[in-house]
Every structure is written in C-alpha cells, then in structure tokens.
Amino acid sequence: MATKPVTYPNIWDSSGIYTTGPFIGSVSIVDPGVGVAGEGHRPGSLYPTAAEHENYQQFQLTTWVTTWLALGSSAGAADAHILETDSVGRFGAVGATFVDAVDETVLDITGANTLVPAVFVTSAATSYQANMGNNAGTGFSAPVGTAAGVGFLSSLTSTAAGGAGVSISADAATAGDCIAVDHAGSGAGIKSTATGTGLSLDVIGSALALYGARFVGGGLTSLLAEGVAGAIGAIIQSSTTAAAGALGVVLRNNTGAAVSISTPAGSTTAARGILASVSGLAAAAELISAGYHGAIITGDATTPTYGALKIEEQDTIPSSFLPNQLARVRPAFGVATHLMESCLEDAGWRGFLTTTGGGAVVLGEFTGPTFHNSYGAYTNLLNFTAVNGNAPKRSGRKIVLRINISARSGTAATDTVLNLRIYDNTAMGYVWTRAGVGAGAGAGYRLVGNSDGGWPQPMTIFVPLTIPAVGNRSWTLEYGNAAGAAVYVRDVVVEALGLN
C-alpha cells in the first residue's frame, strides 16, 4: 500500500499579480468559468489556453493539496480535516454521525476477531444507546449460531452496590415485559450461578401485583428448588403482618393432591416426609376438612413392622384439660405408657382401656326367672356373641368371661346343685363345664335352700376361654341341676372386654 508523500507542492501563483517579465502589474489569475473549463486545454498555437486560466486551476489545486489534503490525519484531532488511515489501515475520529434515508445497513463492520472485540467503546457515561422511539424495532440483536457463543457479555469487577451488568426500567404505563425469553431448546431460559455470598436470584414483587413471581408449566413441576449438601431446598418466609401465612397451596382440580411429598427408595426411619418444628404455643399442624376426613393416615398395609400413627409419650399428665386432646403418658407407677383423653367435665384426663390381645366385646343377658327340674339334663339359658366390630382380632389369646347369675333352690330348706356349661356355636363344641356334686374342680355350684325359699346373693363367676380363631363368634350358656330340688335362675349377664 502506498504511503503518504512527505514532499508537498508549492501553492501556484499565490500572489495573483505578475511582478516580473513583460506583464508586471497585470493580473495573473483569471477564473476561466464553467464553459472554458469544461472544454479544457486548446490544442495548437493559434488559440492557446490562456496562462491566467491555467494559473487559476493550478492555484486551486495546489491550495487544496497543501492546505487541506496534505493536512489529513488518522489521529482523530478535534478539527476539520480529512480522515486518513495509518500504516495498518486504521483511523481515528472525534465523532461520527450517520444519516441514511434508505432502508439499508448504515454501518457494516466485519472483523476476523477471535480474541479482541470488533467494537470497543470506552465511556464514563452511556457507551451505547439505541433510541427506538415509538417503533416496534429491535435495539440490539446478537444472533448466536452452533458454537458456544455469547450474545451479550458483561463483566463486573469490584463493582459497588447499585451497579449492574444489565439494568432495565419501565414506567407505570408500560405493559410489555422487561425481559422476554422464548426458548425451545434443552438449555435453561435464564441461568444464574452464584459462587460468592450474594444471591443468585433476587425477585422483589410489587404490592400492587397479585404475585411477586409466577412459574407456569413443566412436564413434572413448574418449580424445582433443589438443595445442595446440607442446605434446605427452599425456605418460604411470611411477612411480619399478623396472621399472614408463609405458604399458600391451591388445588385447582377435584381429584389431585395440593401437596405431594416423596422420599427416595430405601429411606431410613430418620427420614421425614414433613417435619414441622414450631416454637411457643403454635400448633405444628392443623387439618380442617369441610366435608370429609380431616386426616387419613396409611401405614404399611402388608406385614407391617410399624404402626400407622405414633404419639410420643409425655412424662406426666398434661395440666390442661381442654376438650378433644389426646396424650400418651408414662405414669410414675409403671413402665407402660397410657393413652389418655382430656375430659372437660371431669376437669382432668381419662385413660383408654387396652388389652394385649386387642379389642373383643362379649355380651349376653337374661332377666328371667326360669327354672330347671330335670336331673342331669341342660337347658339353653342365653346366647352371647362377639361379632362384627366386637369380634376377636387375634387367635390363641384368652378372653375372660364374667358371668353374673342369681340362682336359688326350688324348694325351701332344700339344697341343690347348679350345673353350668358353655357351648361354642362357632367351633361346635363345649369349652367349659361346671357340673355334678362334690368337691372336685369341675363340680357344680351348691345352692343352700333358704327356709323361706328366697333368692340369695347373686354370684359372679370368671371363665377364661382361649379363642381358637379370629372373626365372629357366638356361645350358648346352658344350665341344669345335679341333685335335689329344682333350680331357679334370674338376672343372668355374661360379659367380657378385651383379650389377654
């Protein structure tokens, strides 16, 4: 490439007056005018081009070269001059204004840059500004192709608080979005990674809006808050306004779950689906249903190891007896805990009756009176059952029957013997008998005949029976007499509560 010449032409005929020769004092420069200049030099000697006209042209050319063209620079001085490039083709300018009325690219920059920027701007104020006005154009466009390019890069170095890599503001009349991302790929629409002490994302909503932020969509969930190491996945904090909640969950269909919680396969007994630890007099949980169960608790339904619900014990009976409270208390007099319910009417607590074999309620009754006068024979006295909800729940356990019976001799001043036996209608066999005279372990009950033939004090008999199988079960109590007078019975009740 040529370099700028170092020798400049002298300005031709700078005085404009002949000072030597035969034409001293005459004008040496005459404007030939557009017509003469348009024809150029005349050939031959008859009508040669006037020297005054040629001097005019030479004067203008040498003046332009010396006072304007030769003073061009690539340094970018703050004056009027021709822009030149330096030895490597670069130039400097104080400023530039581009005005184009045609729909075309006004400035086209093509660089071969791989390490340095194609455009570098140094400014203490706004380095780049695009005035869109009221047009629906694009202020900045940076298409990125198949390589791992970056459309916009901002690096903050020791930047004070209040500074920002990108700052966007909108007035109250703006309905558009400050940042709009339309992403159809597999990457993230917005990705923020923080390694310092600052927040990776800080969203502060307006009190005039319904929500501070909204997350919509996702094949599995709209928002994933994933903890790292020992950090909690998410902390949701309420305002300090009284009765303001920290988390609101709204179910918008009629069959789903407002909150769904799962733990990894193989979770240990230390894992918790929900851990609510509160302070003061706050309740850890309150469950309210307008038309169904307040809570459904389901444990392992197949050969379980643990119960579906566990109530941790307390070391003494609670002092408050407001209604509808449950507590498992370990009393000072024993080692087993006791399930208790508060009773406002008692101004205290009542314990639930439990048995080691589970619940089983038996009841049968007969008021009478009736009599039996066939020696050695039996008559059905009453049936008693344990069915449905009262049926035995475990086999091989014992149930203790309590038989309350009032019996007397049918003849005044004459003794007799009361025979009793129980028939298991379900197993179809006798399971207990007390019959006959004598002092044997299985003998009947001697009734002493009163002189007036009246009823003696009722007696209570305890009968332990082993339950051979679970499920509904019924028995029949039969009675008879072994010797002597007839037997009269009345006010018979058979009852049992629980299995041992």
d(CA 479, CA 488): 10
The mean per-residue pLDDT over the stretch 200-223 comes to: 89
Given this model, what pLDDT does residue 231 score? 86
Grade residue 408 by pLDDT with cuts at 50, 70 and 90: very high
pLDDT band of 4, cuts 50, 70, 90: confident
Distance CA 450, CA 456 (A): 8
For residue 463, the model assigns a pLDDT of 95
Cβ pair 314, 327 in contact under 8 A: yes
Listed range (158-172, 186-200, 206-220, 322-336) with the worst mean pLDDT: 322-336
Three-class DSSP labels, 328-355? EECCCCCCCCEEEEEECCCCEEEECCCC
pLDDT digits (tens, 9 = 90+) for 21-48: 888 988 989 999 988 888 888 887 777 8
Question: Which residues, in sequence order, are CB contacts of 243 under 8 Å at separation 6+?
Answer: none
Q: Supply the pLDDT for residue 6.
A: 83
Backbone angles phi, psi at 422, to 5 degrees: -120, 130
Residues of the chain with CATH 2.60.120.1340: 361-497
What local confidence, expressed as pLDDT, does residue 441 receive? 94
Cα separation, 456 vs 60, whole angstroms? 157
- Mean pLDDT, the chain, whole residue set: 88
Domain 361-497 coded CATH 2.60.40.420: no
Please state the rounded mean pLDDT for residues 57-85: 85
- The whole-number pLDDT of residue 332 equals 62
Residue 327, Cβ neighbours under 10 Å: how many?
Answer: 20
* Cα angle 184, 258, 299; round to 5: 120
Amino acid 440: pLDDT:
94
